[in-house]
Structure 1
Amino acid sequence: MTGVFGILNTEMGFIGILPYIAQRYDVTIVHAGLLISLFALGVALSGPVMPLVFSRFNRKYVMLLVLGLFTICNTISVFASNFNLLLAVRIIPAFFHPVYCSMAFTMAAEVAGVKAAPKAVAKINIGVSAGMVVGVPISNFLAEHISLSVSMSFFALTTFFVMMATAFFVPSMPAVGRLSYGEQLAVLKKPMVWASIFAILFLNGSVFGVFNYWAAYLASVVGLAPNLVSLLLFGYGLCNIFGSMAAGHLLSSRAEQTVKAFPFLLGAVYLLLLTGGDSGVMVAALTIFWGVLAGINANINQF
C-alpha cells in the first residue's frame, strides 16, 4: 500500500501543478496536459506486457528497480531546463508503473484468498487514494506558496523513502510457480478480458480525463482562490479513500449491482457540473461526491 502510494503520488501529483508548469515553461495548459495524458498512455501500452516480462524475477528486486527509476526521473524533473526533457523523464517511469501496481494487487489478492480478495485489493487502493490526498493538494500548495521545484522535489523524496523502506522491510520474494509467457498470454483469448479492458478504458477516461484539468478549472472557471483549490483537492482525495474502503464491502457483497450502477452515477455528476459548473458551492459538493465515486472506480478496475 505504501509503495503504491509513492508511485501514485508521482502520477497524480502533477495534476495539482499543471498550471504552474504551463507558466514556467511557457506552454499552454493543454500542452502541459501531455505530462498527464502521455504518462497514462505509457501505462496503458505497457500494462499488458511489462508485468509479464518481469513475472519471472524476484519481486522485491523488481519493486526496488521501479522505485529507483521513479526516484531518479523525479529528481531530474526538478532541474529540467525545458519542457521536452521534463516530458521525457515523465514518460519513462510510466512504462514501469503497471509492474509495481500489478504485483501489489496480485500479492494482496493471493494472500487474502478468493472471498476476501476484494477487501484486500481495497486496502491497496487506499494507497492509490492517499496518493491523491497527499500528492495533488500538497503539490499544488507547495507550488503556490514556495516554488515549482520544491513541489517536484516532494515527489522525488517520497519515492526515495518508499524505496528505502522496501529495501529494509520487504523480504526477498523469488518467483514461484512460473507460467510460460505463452500460458500467460492465453488469457487474451477470452472475450470477457477484452470487454473488461475496454470498460475500464472508458471508465478511467471519464474520471481522469476530467480530473487532469480540475485544478485549472477550479481556478480559472469557478474562480476559487489557490488555498481553496488545494483544500478542495484534499477533500476529493479524502473522499477517494472513503470510496475505496466502501468499495471493498460493496464488491464483496453486491458486486454486480455496484458495477452496473457506477456509470450512471458518474454520468449524473458530470451532467450536474455541466449545468451548474459556475457555482462554487455546487462544484464543491459535486467534487466531494465525485471523490467517493473515483475511489469506487479504482476498485472496480482491479475487480
Structure 2
Amino acid sequence: MNANPKILLYILMISALGINTPLSIVGIISQIAEYFNTSIAISGLYVSSFTFTIAICGLFIPVLFSKYNRKRTFVSILTVFAISNIAIIFTKSIYIASFFRILSAIFYPAFISIALTVCEEIAPKGEEQDYITKILLGISIGSIVGLPITTGLGTIFNYQVAMSWIFAINLLSLILIIIFFPKIKGKAKSYEMPFSSLKSKEFLLATIGIMMMPIGASIVYNYQPYFLQVVSHVYTYKLSIFLFIYGLFSIFGTWLGGKLIAKRDKATILIFQLICGGVFVLLYLFANYLIPVLILILIFGILDGMGYNLIQYIESSVIPDSPELANGVFLSILNGGIALGIAIGGFLVDGFGIMSIFIFGALFLLLAFIILYYIIGIMKMPLKYS
C-alpha cells in the first residue's frame, strides 16, 4: 500500500463523521412524529432503534467482516447507508423507515471497528493513539455538529430536508472511499471468537467497570438541558448556543484524552473517574449559582469527550489479539451505556427530581473507579501502551 496514511486517515475521519449523522435526528422527534403521523413515543423508539441495534450488533458483526477486503467492506456498508437513507427520505411508513434505519445500524459497528483497526495498522510507529483519536473525533463531530444542523433543517424546513443532508454527507463519504481509498486485504481468515479472553476475570471486570462510565455520564448529559431550563433558567437560543459550546469542549476533550492516554494511561483512566464524579457533586452543591454551573458543565464537556478514548483504550487492552472484536465491544458498551443512562435518568427525574441525576451519576463513576482501580492497580492488568 503506497497511499499517504494521512490522506487515508482523514478520509476515514470524514466517513466516521458521515456515518454517525443518523444519530443526530434526536433533535427532530416532533417533526418525525408529524411526518409519519404517529406519537412522540413511537418516534422516540424509531430514533433510539439505531443506538440499541449498534449495542447488540457491536458484539459480533465486526468479527464477521474482519476477513474481507477493507475497501470493499467500506464501500458495501456506505452503499447500504445510502440506499437506506433514500428509502427513509421518501417512505411515509414509519415501519419501512424503521426497517432501513435498523438495517444500516447493523453494519455501523463493522465500519467504525474496522476503521479504528485500519488506522492503527497504517499509523507511523508511535502515532497509533493519535490516529485512533482522529476517528473518535469524527464520531464526536458527527454527533455534535450534526445535531444543530439536523435540528435546524428539520425545524426550519421539514423532516425530509433534514434526512437529505444526512444522505448527502454519507454519499460524499462513499465517493471519497471509492476514488481515493486503496485496496487493503483483510485478515487471512476471520477471527474466531476468543472465548477464553471473554470469560477471563479481567475482561468481565473491565467491561463492567467501563460500562459504569457511559451510564454515569449519560444520566447527567441527557438531562442537563432540562436542568439548565428548570433550575438555571437558561432557555431558547441561549440554551442552544451554550450546548453547542459544550459540544466544542467535548471535541477538545476527545483530542486531549488521546494525548493523555499516550503519555500517562493508568493515571488518566483512574483520575478521570474521580474528577468527573467530583464535578457532578459540585454541580449538585452549586446548582443555584449560574456562572459556576456553566463552568462546571463545560468541564464536564471536556471529560465527556475524553470518555470515548478511555473506553476504547481499555477494551483494546483487554482483547489485544482481536482488535475488531475489541472495537465492536467498545461500541456496544458505549451505546448500551448511553441507552441505560437515558432510562435510569428518566426514572430518577420522575421519582426523585432533577437534582438526583448528579448524585447517581457520581455514584456510577465511583463504582467505575473502584472496579478499574482493582484490575489496574491491584490485579496489574497490562495496558496497551504501558
TM-score in terms of structure 2 length: 0.68
| Equivalent in the alignment of 1:199 | 209
Q: CA deviation at 1:185?
A: 4.7
Q: Structure 1 residues 106, 212: CA separation in 2 closer, same or farther (over 3 Å shift)?
A: same
Are residue 235 (structure 1) and residue 245 (structure 2) matched? yes
Identity %: 27
Q: Which sits farther off after the overlay, 154-163 or 191-200?
A: 191-200
AA matched with 2:306: I
Q: Is the 8 A contact 1:16 1:215 kept in 2?
A: no
Structure 2 counterpart of 1:167: 178
The Cα of 1:22 is off from its aligned counterpart by 4.5
CA distance 1:218–1:160, change in 2 (3 Å): farther
Partner of 1:67: 78
- Structure 2 residue 311 is matched with structure 1 residue 301: yes
Moved more, 235-244 or 106-115: 106-115
Equivalent residues, number: 300
Contact 1:130 1:241 (C-alpha < 8 Å) held by counterparts: yes
Structure 2, unmatched stretches of 5+, are 1-12, 314-386
Q: Which amino acid letter does the alignment assign opposite residue 7 of structure 1?
A: I
Task: Specify the alignment match of 2:15 in structure 1.
Answer: 3
Where do residues 224-263 of structure 1 align in structure 2 (5 Å cutoff)?
224-263=234-273
**Residues 101-112 of structure 1 correspond to what in structure 2 (within 5 A)?**
101-112=112-123
* TM-score using structure 1 length: 0.85
Aligned equivalent of 1:40, options 40, 51, 61: 51
Shift in CA distance, 260/49, structure 1 to aligned 2, threshold 3 Å: same
Farther off after superposition, 275-284 or 33-42: 275-284
> Which string of whole-angstrom CA distances, capped at 9 and with x for unpartnered residues, describes residues 201-256 of structure 1?
33223334554566677678866554334423322221122111111111011211
Give me the whole-angstrom Cα distance separating, in 1, the residues matched to 2:207 and 2:287. Answer: 31
Instruction: Decide whether the 8 Å contact of 1:73 with 1:90 is kept in 2.
Output: yes
Query: Of the candidates 81, 86, 98, which is equivalent to residue 92 of structure 2?
Result: 81
On the 8 A contact 1:244/1:299 being kept in 2, the answer is yes
Q: 1:33 to 1:232 in 2, by over 3 A?
A: farther
- Matches of residues 120-131 of structure 1 in structure 2 within 5 Å? 120-131=131-142
Distance 2:289 2:97 in 1: 35
Matched, 1:50 2:61: yes
1:118 paired with 2:154, answer no
Q: Are the aligned partners of 1:133 and 1:235 in contact in 2 as well (CA < 8 Å)?
A: no
Whole-angstrom distance in 2 between the partners of 1:76 and 1:222: 42
